A and B are shown apart, each in its own frame.
Chain A
Amino acid sequence: MEKTAGKVCRVVGPVVEAEEITFLRMLDMVEVGEDRLVGEVMRLKDDRVFIQVYEDTTSLKAGDPIYSKGSPLCVELGPGLMGNIYDGIQRPLEALEKAEGFYIKKGVHVLALDRTKIWHFTPLKKEGDNIKGGEVIGEVQESSVIKHKILIPPLIDGKLKWAAKEGNYNLEERIAVVEKDGRSNDILMYQRWPVRKPRPYKEKLTVREPLITGQRVIDTLFPLAKGGCVAVPGGFGTGKTVVEHQIAKWSDAEVVIFVGCGERGNEMTDVLLNFPKLIDPRTGKPLTERTVFIANTSNMPVAAREASIYTGITIAEYYRDMGYNVALIADSTSRWAEALRELAGRLEEMPVEEGFPAYLPARLAEFYERAGRINTLNGDGASVTIIASVSPPGGDFSEPVTSHTKRFIRCFWALDRDLAYSRHYPAIGWVESYSEYLDDIKGWWHDNIDEEWLTLRYTIMELLQKEQRLEQVVKLVGTEVLPQAQRLVLEICNIFKNAFLQQSAFDEIDTYSSARKQFLMLKAIAALYHDSERLIKQGASVTEIRELPIHQEIMRMKTKYTEKDLEKLAQLPAKVEESLKGLEA
């Protein structure tokens, strides 16, 4: 019989106070009451502990026992994560459904990783090898696209005394024994790691490569780097979730961790039902083969919502340590911050801004710092990229979560309500958004796509800036009175917005554009601009240019040319030149 570590003496919502405690440390995991609700020690004060409970606390009483688990809140890391769906504290939701039916009941304990499942293990190290923490000692084909590297837990090193032969094992069977100073450690295919502690790596590197998302406004205007962080703020209905889904679907990360943190149940269902059907363009396999889901919807317990972000990032770091480029998508960090606020309120902590606790910026910084491009302990290059949506109340970007987040990220995709209202999606506004990664990643574009990329991008950004100023004038006097050269700027921006920036997530062809296609489209628009500019100096009018068939062709090029027709798309600038010549004559 397990010993009790204390007794409940007060219950307020998800926070429980306990007294008569023995052996409880900060952040230790505990189980509360006879239902064994999972909780975590948040504060020690005099002879009392404050525990945040990850499940509904209804019917808990003073005097109920507390049991200590003797370790901080941990996740299980090993084969079986891929394609699985967990709640905020890594309970497998599908297994819960099988056990308990369609409602989530409390006090149910199911292990995160299936112990009975057999995996085919291939050893990569020989007996007698010297082994360090974080090294790869074997592999398991976890899904059709992911080779799961079996890692030595970071804190273990020594000589490999015994290694299992290639064969089928379950997670309970040891696959290696590492010996140091006469003490031997059994190595299993899975390990545990405390969620609030970043996993170690050899060294951090600067970012170099873009994360290609297939979304034109992102890759071309405000690119994100592998190992970078981006915040996606937007009021409700501005399309945050669709942007995040698109990145989960099309980005060229090898592993995607999707954290639905305090969001809608139906949205999560949409993801869960759709991803198995969607085919990853790079591997030809369903997207679930490379995705781990964490779903803590808004009606699930608030404390588990707070933990879900950490559970997600720890799993992301684990796959990073295998040498993969991982993208963590968190929807939404505001709900996480609100969970923090709610718990801080229950713990009676002093609030600073809008009720948020003073340590909000520190927590945000810690979280975003867990992203990055690194060399793993095994010596491989790998990265974790964070894509975090922010839901500012009232769409006001000056609120605490958005403004603090901005301090720790280098890329910002501001979703604009006016764009969303006119159903211009993705509604990433080009005035407020920015990316500081341009200089880091321009080399990749130049080496892999075209030397001209950055110049073209700046050309078009400059036009958008100009348009912004012209719009002020147009609002007062209309377009009729503007000189032709300025009307051309408006027209090109109009084309750019409709034919390039706007991208339908629900159109088969338009949903994804390769980097090459994006460049060619950009080039076609730039060609139209430069050639028309020349023509207008000679006295042509914008209306004449608008009426040319090439205008319509450019307007519709995003869906007209598939990824297979890029050759033809590359001909567009020449076509533009030719048809404008007609006007000259």
Chain B
Amino acid sequence: MKDYSLREYVGLQEIVGPIFVIRNIHNVGYNEVVEIVDEQNKARLGVTLEVGKGYAVVQVLGGTSGLSFDNCKVRFKEKPLMIGVSEDVLGRVFDGVGNPIDNMPKPAYGEMLDVNGLAINPTARDYPNNIIETGISSIDIMNTLVRGQKLPIFSGSGLSHDLIATQIARQARVKSESFCVVFAAMGVKYDVAQIFIKSFEDSGVLDRVSVFLSLADSPSIERILTPRLALTCAEFLAFKRSMHVLVIMTDMSNYCEALRELSTVRGEIPARKGYPGYLYSDLASLYERAGMIKDVKGSITQLPILTMPNDDITHPIPDLTGYITEGQIVLDRELHSRGIYPPIACLSSLSRLMKDNIGIGMTREDHPPLASQLFACYARVKDIRSLAAIVGEEELTPLDLLYIKFGDEFEKRFLSQGYFERRTIEEGLDLGWDIISILPKEELVRIKEEYIQKRYKKKA
């Protein structure tokens, strides 16, 4: 067989941003790997974005700086972008395109996998069951995380999303032996990446973590590849090595911006706010790689983090993410500034997979009605607070005042907990009953009477 990898071309036609056009070539496939060797004899990776008769449009993942029309050699590899995977990726640190940056040689790999992944057949999926006990009550009780779920953290700049993610990664691990973390950083600052790495180190799990770092100073185009590399490793570990993988991806907003940059350079028709029309499909091709498969032991749970530009939840990035993921954990600036950690806005947060995984035989029989009642009462608190802001607390009815008290206690005792505090579900539920018992029984219409009789705490 002819070895096409030796096929080399010189002579680019046009270079714009991260893209170049090359002509007088043949036999080049769409979405295949291109290797560009520059003057320093360094290789950069590229992918074909468009192919035609005798030409190809290539995006260069390492950026195009320093390239000119004839100072580089272009090799077409005739295959989609692949990454070598093995269990040895655990405990290692890679850059955004998959080269090790921990001063160790490339890990040995047993298998080459296409980084784009394949869609899981919906009939082969297993419905996520088995909750992940994170030890954080506002997640466990109110927005339960389930193995195989994709649950993003919608944050804003300056909020404590990194702490929450590391706390989850640390506290969620005990349940199973074969637990590991794949961490992908896209366009974040060096110190943010260090927070994660240090936290993994402190909790002694660093050898169970695989890190992919595309920091803020790397070419932005590289960020399009980074999450795909991470997810391909995760898929290998989960579905071929039966591990339970937690994938943390931060910050998805930077990923989307790289996509927008690329789309703009290509002159594509934008949809909302300049983002390309295929942003939804593109994000889905990442998020949908979470899940479980029938008769396969492992699972991929995704915890993407994104900062909402201007705290705007209707911005295309959080909006489209919310449409794909199974819920969201929204952080609230007001809670944060009042010193409440974790500042999880309970009402706008949601876990879609919670309903089928809590209650009798899974957590505790009173969990679903209690959670629902806490939501309803807390929503009422918000209304009453805005009323109190106008008429003053003196004008409120005695019942309204009880609600206000409930709201304060709920935030101070239930939502709030320490960074190292680990609250079991049992403890969380009892605390919930404790607080909801501030309200008279008649208000608890979402809870069956038998549970009220059993759990409602009468005032002394």
Contact = CB atoms under 8 A, between A and B. Distances in A.
Interface of A: 9-13, 17, 56-63, 85, 93-94, 96-97, 100-105, 235-237, 260, 262, 264-270, 272-273, 295, 297-300, 302, 335, 338-339, 341-342, 345, 351, 354-355, 391, 393-396, 421-424, 474-480, 498-499, 506, 546, 552, 555-556, 559
Nearest to A93: B123
A269 B125 contact: yes
A274 to B, nearest CB: 8
Contacts of A474: 387
Given A59-B29, A338-B280, 13 more contacts: A9-B53, A12-B30, A60-B30, A62-B28, A85-B123, A93-B121, A103-B120, A235-B319, A266-B148, A299-B285, A300-B119, A302-B278, A555-B445
20 contacts: A58-B32, A59-B32, A60-B30, A93-B122, A97-B123, A100-B121, A103-B121, A235-B322, A267-B326, A268-B125, A297-B122, A299-B288, A338-B280, A345-B269, A354-B271, A355-B269, A421-B347, A475-B387, A555-B445, A556-B449
Contact of B50 (A11, A101, A354, A424): A11
A498 B368 CA distance: 17
B119 A104 contact: yes
Q: Which of B123, B296, B395, B449 gathers the greatest number of chain A CB atoms within 10 Å?
A: B123
Given A58-B116, A61-B30, A10 B52 contact: yes
Interface string B109-134: 00000001011111111111000000
A296 to B, nearest CB: 9
B225 to A, nearest CB: 15
3 closest A-B pairs (Cβ-Cβ)? A394-B314, A422-B379, A298-B284
B288 A298 contact: yes
Interface string B261-304: 00000001111100011101100110011010110100000000
A373 B97 CA distance: 57
B71 interface: no
Nearest to B116: A58
Contact of A395 (B52, B149, B291, B314): B314
B396 interface: yes
Contacts of A85: 122-123
B125 A10 contact: no
Contacts of A235: 314, 319, 322
Nearest to B235: A103
B155 interface: no
A245 B48 CA distance: 41
Contact of B278 (A269, A299, A342, A394): A342
Interface string B366-402: 0010001001100110000011001100011100100
A363 B183 CA distance: 43
A479 B118 CA distance: 58
Contact of B316 (A13, A339, A393): A393
* Chain A contact residues: helix, strand, loop or mixed: mixed
Nearest to A422: B379
Contact of A236 (B268, B316, B323): B323
Interface stretch (B10-18, B184-192, B350-358, B410-418): B350-358
A393 B319 contact: yes
B347 A342 contact: no
A100 B348 CA distance: 40
Nearest to B285: A299
B121 A97 contact: yes
B288 A102 contact: no
Contacts of A423: 372, 375-376, 379
A298 B281 contact: yes
Nearest to A302: B281
Contacts of A506: 355, 368
B319 A236 contact: yes
Contacts of A100: 121
Interface centre among A61, A100, A339, A351 (most CB of B within 10 A): A61
Interface in B401-454: 442, 445, 448-449
Contacts of A272: 122-123
Contacts of B296: 102
Given A265-B288, A355-B271, A10 B277 contact: no
B307 interface: no
Contacts of B353: 266
A422 B347 contact: yes
A263 B171 CA distance: 31
B277 A273 contact: no
B54 interface: yes
Contacts of B51: 10-11, 60-62
A100 B123 CA distance: 12
A425 to B, nearest CB: 9
Nearest to B350: A237
B322 A236 contact: yes
Contacts of B148: 266
Contact of B314 (A102, A265, A393): A393
B232 interface: no
Nearest to A394: B314
A551 to B, nearest CB: 8
B220 interface: no
> Which of A236, A266, A268, A422 gathers most chain B CB within 10 Å?
A266
A478 B30 contact: no
Contact of A59 (B30, B320, B328, B356): B30
A422 B28 contact: no
Contacts of B448: 559
B339 to A, nearest CB: 24
Given A10-B53, A345-B269, A237 B125 contact: no
B30 A421 contact: no
A61 B323 contact: no
A269 B126 contact: yes
B118 A104 contact: yes
Given A236-B323, A354-B271, A555-B445, A335 B31 contact: no
Contacts of A342: 277-278, 281
Contacts of B32: 58-59
Contacts of B395: 477-478, 480
A199 to B, nearest CB: 27
B319 A394 contact: yes
B91 interface: no
Nearest to B377: A422
A299 B323 CA distance: 13
B80 interface: yes
A260 B294 CA distance: 20
Contact of B291 (A13, A94, A265, A393): A265
A338 B116 CA distance: 21
A336 to B, nearest CB: 12
B168 to A, nearest CB: 20
Contacts of A354: 271-272
Nearest to B30: A11
A272 B120 CA distance: 14
A349 B99 CA distance: 41
Nearest to B349: A237
B5 interface: no
A493 to B, nearest CB: 14
Interface in B39-98: 49-54, 79-80
B267 to A, nearest CB: 10
Nearest to A546: B442
Contacts of B319: 235-236, 393-394
Given A59-B80, A480-B397, A96 B281 contact: no
A90 to B, nearest CB: 14
A58 B30 contact: yes
Nearest to B79: A59
A307 to B, nearest CB: 15
Contacts of B54: 62
Given A58-B32, A237-B327, A104 B121 contact: yes
Contacts of B352: 237, 267
Contacts of A355: 269-272, 277
B120 A265 contact: yes
A130 B298 CA distance: 61
B324 interface: yes
